[in-house]
Amino acid sequence: MKISLIIPCYNEQSNIQKGVLDKIGNYTQNNPSFFEVVIVDDGSSDDSKKIIKTKYLKNFPKFRLIENNHQGKAFAVITGIEKAKGEYAMFSDIDLATPIEEAEKLILEAKKGGQVVIGSRSSYRQGAPILRKIMAKGFIIVRNIVIGLHGIRDTQCGFKLFEKKAALRIINKLKVFHDKRVAEGSSVSAGFDLEFIFLAKRLGFKIKEVPVAWRHVETKNVNFINDSMETLKDIIKIKYYYLTGKYEV
């Protein structure tokens, strides 16, 4: 397999200084499944890009950096998929809430024929605040009622692997996340995962969900209340585009 590992990055200087890119680099550099590591910077205003350029691009030959204007995490992932040189595209959150070693579980399912392989956190969600756990369960109920993603337990885990050809077909049909936008502040673009998986199901791709280890990591880039409201709006948009026949398959 030739996998392009996509790492979205927005003001991640703190995580980088904790050594997350060292863990990713050490894991991928001698792993033949990983062809490249594509770090897509989403217009960081801290020293993230400087550190990546001066330290990591030199130390890890598989690393390359793509610089976007600030558009939100979704468009960082989309850019990574479009620019990926591998046959498969995988993305991981840079905080490594799911350890990078868990990639082996996704790779195994891809080798069995999974075209869209998604990591799935346990319902326990170790370390997450109780309010976040409650709101996450409510989100799943709303998601299933409005856009019908029954049978998929966790759409939001930032740990997924796709056939690149399948991913390109899917992103070509996105509506909510079709037009580039200018983001203000942090934008986790949680609705992207929903629209992506919604379209993957409609296009008939083989979706596999794989349990992975996960631990809660606090980050300033996530505001659960604001992000939940943004995601709810995106769910309504997905439903609207579906009812008005905008999603051509």
Mapped to the 3 state alphabet, what secondary structure does 158-212 carry? Answer: CEEEEEHHHHHHHHHCCCCCCCCCCCCCCCCCCHHHHHHHHHHHHCCCCEEEEEC
Q: How far apart are CA 39 and CA 30, in angstroms?
A: 18
Helix (H) or strand (E) holding 50, with range, is helix 48-51
The pLDDT value recorded for residue 188 is 63
The pLDDT value recorded for residue 28 is 98
Structure tokens at 54: 């001066």
Collect contacts of 49-55 with beta carbons under 8 A, ≥24 apart. Answer: 51/13, 51/16, 51/17, 52/9, 52/16, 52/21
Whether 11 is in a domain gets the answer yes
| Domains of the chain: total | 1
Q: How far apart are CA 146 and CA 136, in angstroms?
A: 15
The pLDDT value recorded for residue 44 is 96
Whether 220 is in a domain gets the answer yes
Amino acid, single-letter form, for residue 128: A
Whether 148 is in a domain gets the answer yes
Whether 232 is in a domain gets the answer yes
Q: Are 233 and 194 in contact (CB under 8 A)?
A: no
| Nearby residues of 169 by Cβ (< 8 Å), 6 or more positions away | 203
Domain extent, residue 213, equals: 3-243
Sort residue 19 into left (φ over 0), alpha (ψ -120 to 50) or beta: left
Whether 248 is in a domain gets the answer no
Whether 249 is in a domain gets the answer no
CATH number of the domain that residue 20 is part of: 3.90.550.10
Q: Are 200 and 161 in contact (CB under 8 A)?
A: no
Give ∠ CA 111-57-110 in degrees, rounded to 5. 5
- Residues of the chain short of pLDDT 50, as ranges, are none
Distance from CA of residue 10 to its chain's centroid? 13
The pLDDT value recorded for residue 228 is 75
| Nearby residues of 8 by Cβ (< 8 Å), 6 or more positions away | 40, 42, 73, 76, 77, 80, 91, 93, 94
At residue 75, the 3 state secondary structure works out as: helix
The pLDDT value recorded for residue 112 is 96
The pLDDT value recorded for residue 182 is 60
Sort residue 99 into left (φ over 0), alpha (ψ -120 to 50) or beta: beta
Whether 109 is in a domain gets the answer yes
Whether 127 is in a domain gets the answer yes
